[in-house]
Amino acid sequence: MSYIYLSHILDAQTPGFGGNADFKLELVRKMCEGGSCNSSRVEVSMHLGTHVDAPYHFCESGDTVETFRAQDWIFKHVSLVHLEDVLSGTLIGVGSWCEKLSTDTELILLKTGFEKYRNSPLYWQENPGIHAELGVWLRKHRPSVRVLGFDFISASSFTNREMGRTAHKAFLCKDEANTHPILFMEDLSLCELEKNPEEVIALPLRVRGADGAPMTIIARMAEEA
């Protein structure tokens, strides 16, 4: 078997929603200046780079990152959905691909190809987004789904932020049927992924009270015959 990363490296060039620069790494102790070791500190938004949105992000009474169990970040039933060449600003809603999802799917990975613009302002200025109807449909028809991940910067299209807010609530907040929320994993790296992984482990930075957190995500792939 082999493993690949599905998360990007955090650095000062990491694009932020709205063009915000939300990362700073500072070497506060340096061996070259007589220090006993090199020691760094980092300042980073909880929603920069590959990260998870917890329910508290848009729901006042929603769960925060540290309240989830260890097993909640391990996914055995993963569905990779190819939606190649999604146009700028597209809102991804209910489509024919939804009915094709296995009824035991825990994690959906939407591969749109928009990742290729990650080094351009287009990545955050005209990113695709998620339509609220998708959250309603998934919670009703695929209740096993716990997370929706995708290779663009946010579930909120920067050109339609009102729908982005509505979509976040449709996925993250309590609904009338009291089904479990569906979390977002945003800004994934899916360029190396061509088929369903056998397992995905997606570990957030555990910060008490956080409404989201940067993640390191690895996928276990089956060996080629």
pLDDT in tens, 59-117: 999 999 999 999 999 999 999 999 977 888 999 999 999 999 999 999 999 999 999 99
The class (CATH top level) of 2-11+46-221 is alpha beta
- At residue 22, the pLDDT reads 83
- At residue 224, the pLDDT reads 74
Q: What are phi and psi of 96, to 5 degrees?
A: -60, -25
Give ∠ CA 157-83-183 in degrees, rounded to 5.
55
**Domain locations in the chain as residue ranges:** 2-11+46-221
pTM equals 0.95
- At 112, the amino acid letter reads T
Mean pLDDT of the 154-170 span: 97
- At residue 178, the pLDDT reads 85
Between CA 110 and CA 82 the distance in angstroms is 6
Query: Which tens digit of pLDDT belongs to each residue from 203-218?
Result: 999 999 999 999 999 9
Query: Which tens digit of pLDDT belongs to each residue from 15-70?
Result: 999 998 889 999 999 999 999 999 999 999 999 999 999 999 999 999 999 999 99
